[in-house]
Amino acid sequence: MKVFLTGGSGYVGRPTVRALIRQGHEVSALARSDASARTLTELGARPVPGGLTDTDVLREAAAEADGVIHLGQHYGDNTADVDRAAADALQAGIGDRGPYVHTGGVWVYGDTAGVVDEDAPQNPPAITAWRRANEERVLAHGGNPVLVMPGIVYGLGGGLVETFFAAPGRRTGAVPLIGDGSNHWALVHAEDIAELYVLALQAPAKSVYAGVSGQNLPLADVVGALTGASGRVAQLSLAEAVDRMGPIAEAFALDQQLTPVRAQRELGWEPRHLDALRELRE
C-alpha cells in the first residue's frame, strides 16, 4: 500500500514510518523543512515538501496514496482551524479509495472515574476542547475515516513525559509532581502506538480506538520512576503547575484509566511495552 503521512518526522511519526516500512508499505510523508526531509529519507520514506497549511499539497499527496495517516499538528492560536482544514484536504484527496486515519487523544474524556472505553462521555480540559468538533467532522465524512486516540506517549527518549517532567528534573534536580500524584495516566509506548496506526489502515470505516496499553499508572509512580536514585520531587499545586507548564498542566492532572480491549479485539493489536516504570527508570 502507498501510505502518505503528516508528522512523519516527529516523535510518533518516526516509529510509525519504520513500522509501515517493516510491513512492506511504500511511504511518503510531509516535510516542512530540509531537516525533516533528511530524517524521512534516512527512514526510507519519500519527502513531500510542504506544511500543514499547504492544503493543495496535502490534497494532491493524498490523491496519490492508497491510505493516509494524519499525525502532524500545528501549534498556535489557530490549531483547530489548521487541523480541520488539513483533515478536509486529506479526506478530499483520498476520497473513498482508501483509509484516512486521524489522530485524536484520550484527554478529551477528562476524568474517567475508573476504567472506561471509547464510548465514555467526554469532558475535555480547555487545551483539547477543540478536538471533539473536528473529530465528529472527520467521522461524518464519506470514505473510510478511522480515529486513533493515543494516551500519554512515552519512550524513545522523547514526548511529553520527557519535555515536561524528565528534562526539568535533570535541570533542577527535582521532577515536577502535580498535587499528590494519585491521579492516573493512561500510557502507551511510542513503538506500540506506531503499530496501532499501521493496523488502523485495515479498520472498518468510522472506527474509534483508544491508543493505550492498559498501563493506568498513578502520576506519583511515574514521577518516582523518573527521579531515579535521588527521589527528589518538586510538588506543585495545580495553579503552580499551570504557571510553570502552561494549560497542558490541567491535562496532566486528569485522573484517567482506559482500556485497549477494542483495538486488541478488532485489530489484533498487542502492545509489547508493558512495564513503563522500568523503562522510565532506565
163 and 95 part of one domain: no
116 and 178 part of one domain: no
Cα distances (Å, whole numbers) of residue 127 to 131, 239, 245, 250: 9, 15, 12, 8
74 and 164 part of one domain: no
Rounded to an integer, what distance in angstroms lies between the CA atom of residue 272 and that of residue 213? 8
| pLDDT of 75 | 86
Sequence-distant (≥ 6) Cβ neighbours of residue 34 within 8 angstroms: none
82 and 161 part of one domain: no
109 and 131 part of one domain: yes
Sequence-distant (≥ 6) Cβ neighbours of residue 202 within 8 angstroms: 99, 267
| pLDDT of 241 | 98
Is 96 part of a structural domain of the chain? yes
Rg (CA), the chain: 18
| pLDDT of 83 | 97
Q: Within the chain, what is the greatest distance between any pair of CA atoms?
A: 55
Is 264 part of a structural domain of the chain? no
86 and 172 part of one domain: no
Is 267 part of a structural domain of the chain? no
101 and 142 part of one domain: yes
97 and 175 part of one domain: no
**102 in Cβ contact with 58 (< 8 Å):** no
**Among 210, 213, 205, CA closest to 101:** 205
164 and 93 part of one domain: no
79 and 107 part of one domain: yes
**Among 264, 103, 117, 151, CA closest to 199:** 264
Is 266 part of a structural domain of the chain? no
**139 in Cβ contact with 208 (< 8 Å):** yes
Domain total in the chain: 2
**Chunked mean pLDDT (size 10), the chain, 282 residues:** 98 98 98 97 98 98 98 92 98 97 98 97 96 96 97 97 96 96 98 98 98 98 92 96 97 98 98 97 92
Q: What is the CATH number of the domain that holds 57?
A: 3.40.50.720
**7 in Cβ contact with 72 (< 8 Å):** yes
Is 262 part of a structural domain of the chain? no
| pLDDT of 65 | 98
Domain that holds residue 79: 2-149+190-212
**Among 196, 203, 204, CA closest to 270:** 196
129 and 249 part of one domain: no
Is 101 part of a structural domain of the chain? yes
pTM: 0.97
Cα distances (Å, whole numbers) of residue 110 to 106, 147, 201, 221: 8, 18, 27, 20
**153 in Cβ contact with 189 (< 8 Å):** yes
How much of the chain is in helix, strand and coil states, percent to nearest 5?
45, 20, 35
24 and 132 part of one domain: yes
Is 85 part of a structural domain of the chain? yes
| pLDDT of 249 | 98
